[in-house]
Amino acid sequence: MSKSGDQKYMARALELAEQGRGFVEPNPMVGCVIVREGEIVGEGWHQKFGGPHAEIEALSAAGQAATGADVFVSLEPCCHQGKTPPCTEALIGAKVARVVIGCQDPNPQVAGNGIASLREAGIEVELIADDGSAHRLVAPFAKLMTTGRPWVIAKWAMTLDGKLATHTGDSQWISSEASRAVVHHVRGQVDGIVVGKGTVVQDDPTLTARPSGARIATRIVLDSLATLPMDSRLVKTLDQAPLLLVAREDAPAGRLSSLQSIGVDVLSLAMGDHEDFIGQLLDELGQRQMTNLLVEGGATLLGTLFDLGAIDEVHVFVAPKLIGGQAALTPVAGQGLAEMATALELDEIEVNVLGGDVHIHGYVRPR
């Protein structure tokens, strides 16, 4: 098969994989295409966590036609027993001739062992030249596997003069309805949505996805002394989505008990500076297998994540409005950088106009 043919079928595998977004986490999104004599005889993707992997779905669709066929899979097939049996065994049992892989699995339990297993069975294996698409698709999974922390998506809406709100704190609404629809779509794909207590007090948000998406995100509020108002919309909508309140270990026990009694999950973290506090939170959320985390502010929280180098992806909505004010908040506080040469830069930038706003989406370039 020609190299151009390989690229075409791998592109299809990646397209299939994308359909699992929001359904498969903490597993990675994976797609698979089986080709015999230039014809696609089977396709599949990992459709939900705990369900059959992409290779199994594609082999089931192909049946006997998989024998002697070429298999294109976006991620190295697993070779260990998890919630499902190893995909390498299924491929070997189906007697496929060749397996073309988009990228190696970052999971230490696999990490090249799947490739080795296939080759030991006499199956030809190739790692296709990746344009970055295969690695991008599994980047959140890779971060969780290698660092134990979730992929962090920073989102904010600001005016043309770079303000999150007026000097009185009023921010509803900076962005257009079309921009807010994009935010709701992202909310429906993540495991958690994080805000600081100030955002809750000022905006009284619900932080739910409307309409609902593939996932129901846990609303996470950083509230050191557990002062979350009992009449807040976050509390009133506990039947719609989980709520996790993150407090210091010296927060009033009575407040914590009251919140827990109505169904709020409470996480107490050791006291320390803000960076240490946020670092502990990221570690804890990683242990809970949260893969994608959407951070919606405010400036102090975003600034701490920036200073920690923890932001991986950015959605920014710039409204064609000016409000001025030296005291009006800018999006990212924290210590910041001393030199322009060290500024974070974005890759794979997408720019769209939504209801008059400019939506900028990109991925933080590794330093």
Identify the CATH number of the domain in which residue 173 sits.
3.40.430.10
Sheet with 192-196, side-by-side order of all strands: 265-269, 243-248, 218-222, 192-196, 292-295, 151-159, 313-319, 357-364, 346-354
213 shares its domain with 336: yes
Residue 83 has pLDDT above 70, yes or no: no
Percent of the chain topping pLDDT 90: 77
Of 234, 181, 172, 175, the C-alpha closest to 203 is 172
When divided into structural domains, the chain yields a total of 2
134 shares its domain with 154: no
Residue 297 has pLDDT above 80, yes or no: no
Facing residues of 92 across strands? none
Residues comprising the binding site for substrate?
171, 187, 203, 207, 210, 296
Identify the H or E element spanning 182: helix 177-187
10 shares its domain with 43: yes
Residues comprising the binding site for Zn(2+)?
53, 78, 87
| Active site residues per annotation | 55
243 shares its domain with 263: yes
- Report pLDDT for 81: 65
Could you give the CA distance from residue 30 to residue 261 in angstroms, rounded to a whole number?
A: 40
Facing residues of 269 across strands? 248
Residue 150 exposed, middle or buried by CB count within 10 Å (0-12, 13-18, 19+): buried
Please tell me whether the overall predicted TM-score, pTM, comes out greater than 0.85 for this model.
yes
pLDDT in tens, 228-241: 999 999 999 999 99
**Dihedral sign (CA 328, 294, 21, 117):** positive
Which residue, 111, 140, 169, sits at the end of a domain?
Answer: 140
